Structure 1
Amino acid sequence: MQKKYYYLPEKVYASKGKRLANFVIDRIVIYVLTFLMGMLAFVLSEALGMGGFLRFIENMTAMEELLFGVVVSLLYYMALESTTGRTIGKFITNTRVISENEKKAAPDEVFIRSLCRFIPFDAFSFLGSEGRGWHDSIPKTYVVDIKKYDEEKQIREGLDQLGANTQEI
């Protein structure tokens, strides 16, 4: 049986407003996670007598802090998008990441997507008419509005079924 690939119409893409909400919500969640990790490091270092580790965290350079933030962000996006196709922001806005074959994005696609978020000016790449950023187009993924996508998919499947029934006549 031949696999059919459909053109994904722009009307099912998540709106720019939802994409912005995803960004803001996910940034807040990442900041909270980073803070909680710092608190956990403090508690563990005090409980286990590892003051050296705590001093390392307190004296991190700007580059080390940046690298730590990148690692936390990568872990956040990888853990959620590769397992559920959604981050906390996407759960709230009812959106999801899918690959170009309309399946859940594969871990390698999510990894590339996550790395592309660190391209300078990636946020400005959403200003185009299509509303897909570089971290969508480079790994060939889409962020879709789940309700609109499911409605469109149901219509296509109905038309496919109708076409199959017509060919039998």
Structure 2
Amino acid sequence: MEPMKTAVGKEDLLGDLDDIVVLNRASRGQRFLNYLIDLVIVYLLVIVFFVLDMTWENLINPQDNGPDDGWSELSVAILAMLAYVLYYTLMECFNKGRTIGKLATGTYAVFSTGKPLTFKTAFFRSLSRIAPFELLSGFDDAPWHDRWTDTLVAKRPADH
């Protein structure tokens, strides 16, 4: 936006105030509820995957009823982290910064300037959620995944 010119040819020093966006940050309670709802959704996605995998295995080899399903604890943990990152990345990128938890609480994730998240930022935000002890950073004003990506979770304006 170019500065406005006044009648005497001087720049309007307050012209850039039109670009300021006022965001009301989500409360810790809202963010915690977002986390719980989204965590349940991710676990449900992982459970659905395993049910589909078991069903597929039984269709391919119905005689094999052994206890070994081919999944180690490490592979299950990696799958869960992958589901976690994919869920948050895809939801926040393609759903205007909202996950199912954020939809339930009327909040959304944006850059600290108020601009919508890009795919890259949504991905790095999601990836940083799996850092060790990241969950504990939620007790601070801004969790690590917000600080590291210059983002925040805001309340939806009352007029929407």
TM-score normalized by structure 2? 0.78
| Aligned mate of 1:15, from 27, 35, 38 | 27
Count of residues paired in the alignment: 143
Give the CA deviation at 1:7: 6.9
Matches within 5 A, 1:120-139: 120-128=132-140, 131-139=141-149
Contact 2:21 2:114 in 1 (8 A): no
Paired-residue identity, %: 27
Question: What is the RMSD computed on CA atoms of the aligned residues?
Answer: 2.6
**Alpha-carbon deviations, 1:101-140, whole Å to 9, x = none?**
3122101001110111011111221222xx2100011011
Cα distance in 2 between the residues matched to 1:105 and 1:50:
45
The AA in structure 2 aligned to 1:64 is S
The AA in structure 2 aligned to 1:121 is F
| Aligned mate of 1:100, from 105, 108, 112 | 112
The answer to whether 1:91 aligns with 2:103 is yes
Structure-1 residue corresponding to 2:79: 68
Structure-1 residue corresponding to 2:151: 141
- Larger proportion of helix: 1
**Alpha-carbon deviations, 1:72-120, whole Å to 9, x = none?**
1111111111001111100101100111331221010011101110111
The answer to whether 1:77 aligns with 2:88 is yes
Structure-2 residue corresponding to 1:35: 47
Runs of 4 or more, structure 1, over 4 Å off, are 2-5
Cα distance in 1 between the residues matched to 2:71 and 2:57:
16
Contact 1:21 1:89 in 2 (8 A): yes
* Structure 1 stretches lacking a partner, 5+ long: 152-169
The AA in structure 1 aligned to 2:20 is Y
